[in-house]
């Protein structure tokens, strides 16, 4: 009876610890997932994207670019290897995120995923000319390809953005989007 009580207490303590620590926080939101996809996710950095601004002046700092760090992906079930594509788009909103318009899109990167390794996607940096009273976000799309056709798709919006002003880094992190202009 003592062993059962000790085991019950140990399991209860482990569950409480897990609840206290919580689930991992992701720097993206899944907008769409369809078809046969494999395991996928971010590489686990503090942010999955970075906003690059001009140096701060009396007029503020203007958004010049957004950099997106690559995601990882494995083959879908039933495949030991599979081609996967990764595309990134920058979207702009004039109404604080109610509606979005795509303003820049990267070339698709295509790589081979195996059970042991993700495709070697590169970091993407897209140029943007930030506008006053507008916000910008990044949407990434992973596609699992079979026989030349898309067999699975995941579309994500980045939700945490690191920030770089001019030639210096900052600890500021924006949630959900990058403002077109930042004022001190």
| Residues 49-58: tens digit of each pLDDT | 999 998 888 8
Task: Please check whether residue 1 lies inside any domain of the structure.
Answer: no
The predicted pLDDT at position 20 comes to 29
CATH code of the domain in which 164 resides: 2.60.40
**Exposure of 183 in the CB half-sphere (CA atoms within 13 A):** 5
Task: Please check whether residue 59 lies inside any domain of the structure.
Answer: yes
Classify the phi-psi angles of 54: left when phi > 0, otherwise alpha if psi is within -120 to 50, otherwise beta. beta
Task: Please check whether residue 13 lies inside any domain of the structure.
Answer: no
Task: Please check whether residue 6 lies inside any domain of the structure.
Answer: no
Cβ neighbors of 54 (< 8 A, separation 6 or more) are: 61, 62, 64, 165, 166
Note whether 89 and 109 are within 8 A (CB): no
Q: Does the predicted TM-score (pTM) go above 0.75?
A: yes
- Identify the CA nearest to 34 among candidates 144, 115, 138: 144
Compute the average pLDDT of residues 11-30.
45
The predicted pLDDT at position 18 comes to 30
CA torsion sign for 177, 40, 171, 17 is positive
- Work out the burial of residue 131: count CB atoms within 10 Å of its CB; fewer than 13 is exposed, 13-18 middle, 19 or more buried: middle
The predicted pLDDT at position 43 comes to 79
What total of structural domains would you count in the chain?
Answer: 1
Task: Please check whether residue 11 lies inside any domain of the structure.
Answer: no
Give the structural domain span for 165. Answer: 26-182
| Residues 126-150: tens digit of each pLDDT | 999 999 999 999 999 999 999 889 9
Note whether 158 and 140 are within 8 A (CB): yes
């Amino acid at each position: 009876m003592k062993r059962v009580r000790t085991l019950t207490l140990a399991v209860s303590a482990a569950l409480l610890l897990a609840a206290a620590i919580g689930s991992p926080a992701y720097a993206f939101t899944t907008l769409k997932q369809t078809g046969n996809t494999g395991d996928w996710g971010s590489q686990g950095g503090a942010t999955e994207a970075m906003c690059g601004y001009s140096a701060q002046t009396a007029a503020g700092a203007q958004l010049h670019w957004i950099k997106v760090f690559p995601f990882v992906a494995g083959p879908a079930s039933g495949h030991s290897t599979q081609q996967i594509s990764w595309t990134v788009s920058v979207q702009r909103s004039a109404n604080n995120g109610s509606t979005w318009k795509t303003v820049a899109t990267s070339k698709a990167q295509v790589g081979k995923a195996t059970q042991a390794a993700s495709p070697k996607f590169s970091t993407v940096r897209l140029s943007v000319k930030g506008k006053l009273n507008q916000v910008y976000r990044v949407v990434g799309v992973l596609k699992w390809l079979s026989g030349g056709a898309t067999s699975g798709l995941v579309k994500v919006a980045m939700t945490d953005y690191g920030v770089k002003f001019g030639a210096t880094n900052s600890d500021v992190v924006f949630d959900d989007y990058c403002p077109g202009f930042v004022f001190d």
